[in-house]
Structure 1
């Protein structure tokens, strides 16, 4: 199933969605996909004209591929401009992902501050792509193309603070209009930025994740490349704290991300 077909599945029947093994990430389903499915369920409960501003994601436990998941959403409060919504993914009676989201209409304001410019990097067509290798790279990477432009690849023993490059969806039957759900997958596709520090493979995953979206979202296509950059602010005792951002290929800011990651090495 493609990313878009899974989004359609949760819209049609959020109480019973099965994520196939091809979207796996070790013993879990790809976190960016699970977050996107929870978000779709939350968005359906929000008043029109209130785009998502921020999501605070906690991956409580692994969402197992091939096992039905129920996606639920609850509106906590609706103010004059902002809706606060709680979403969750439940599997085998246990919460596996929890998201608190803020959806807000635009307001007139005298404040206007432009985003800082995107980093200058090698064009996507000139960058090395992470290949999908069965039994080596995560299963879900067959659906997401990543081309390194910043820092080193995982497990190369290069202790740099920054990592990133270009990313896009692949495997879709036809070009898709990019939504916030797609941005969740594009940002979370990247491995923890601490993994290039290791000289040999070891497990790593996201524990908590906060992502903020620049609104209004521009008209974007899944055929386009998007630029991702992560910066390690601090790492010790098996945890890393990483700030990141995602831009269009023309340098327009789309999302600001912050993750606490775990690494078992």
Structure 2
């Protein structure tokens, strides 16, 4: 199933979705996909005109492939402009992912501060591609195209604090309007920025993830390359703290991310 087909499946039946093994990431399903599916299930309970402002996720345990997954969303509070929701993703009776979401309508405000500029890197066609290699790269990377333009690839003994480049979906039957669900996949497609520091392969994964969306969302399609950059703020004792952002092809900020990652190396 493609990304778009899985989004449609969770809209139809959020109580019993099965993620195929093709979306695997080691022993778990791709976290960006799980986050996107959770977002779709939450969005169904939000009034129109309240776009998502932020999501806070905790990956409690690995989401297995080929096992029914239930997305249970609850409205915590609905104010005049903001809706607060909580979601539990449950598999085999166990909570595997927790999400808190804030959805809010625009307000009149005297405050307007321009975002910091996007980094300047080579165009996507000049950057090094991370190819999908069966048994080498995570299974889900067959559905996402990444081109490295900042820092090094995982396990290359590159000590840079920054990592990133261009990213977009691939394998879709036809282009789709880029939504927040797609952005979750694009941001989480990248490996933890600490992995290039290692000399040899070792597991690493997200523990917690907070992502904020710049609204209104840019009018983009799944064919557009988006620019991602992550920066390690601190890493020690098997944990890394990483700030990141995603920009449109023309340099407009579209998402801000922060992750605590675990690394076993």
TM-score (norm 2): 1.00
Tell me if 1:229 matches 2:239.
no
> Corresponding residue for 1:261?
261
Q: TM-score, normalised by structure 1?
A: 1.00
> Which residue does the alignment assign to 1:28?
28
Match of 2:39 in 1: 39
1:67-216 superposed matches below 5 A: 67-216=67-216
Q: In the TM superposition, what whole-angstrom CA distance separates every residue of 1:28-59 from its partner, at most 9, and x where no partner exists?
A: 00000001101100000001100000000000
Q: Which runs of 5+ in 2 are unaligned?
A: none
Matched residues in 1 for 2:161 and 2:56: separation?
Answer: 24
User: Structure 2 CA distance, aligned partners of 1:55 and 1:203?
Assistant: 25
Q: Which whole-Å CA distance do the structure 2 matches of 1:218 and 1:139 have between them? A: 29
Displacement of 1:159 in angstroms is 1.0
Counterpart for residue 218 of structure 1 = 218
Q: Structure 1 residue 88: deviation in Å? A: 1.7
For 2:33 and 2:224, the matched residues in 1 are separated by 19
Please state whether the residue corresponding to 2:125 is helix, strand or coil: helix
The offset of 1:87, in angstroms, is 1.1
Secondary structure, counterpart of 1:133 in structure 2 = coil
State the secondary structure of the residue aligned to 1:217.
Answer: coil
Secondary structure at the counterpart of residue 33 of structure 1: helix
Q: CA offset at residue 134 of structure 1? A: 0.5
Gaps of 5+ in 1: none
Partner of 2:12: 12
Question: Does the CA contact (< 8 Å) of 2:218 and 2:248 recur in 1?
Answer: no
Query: 1:51: which partner in 2?
Result: 51
* Per-residue deviation, 1:21: 0.3
Shift of 1:72: 1.2
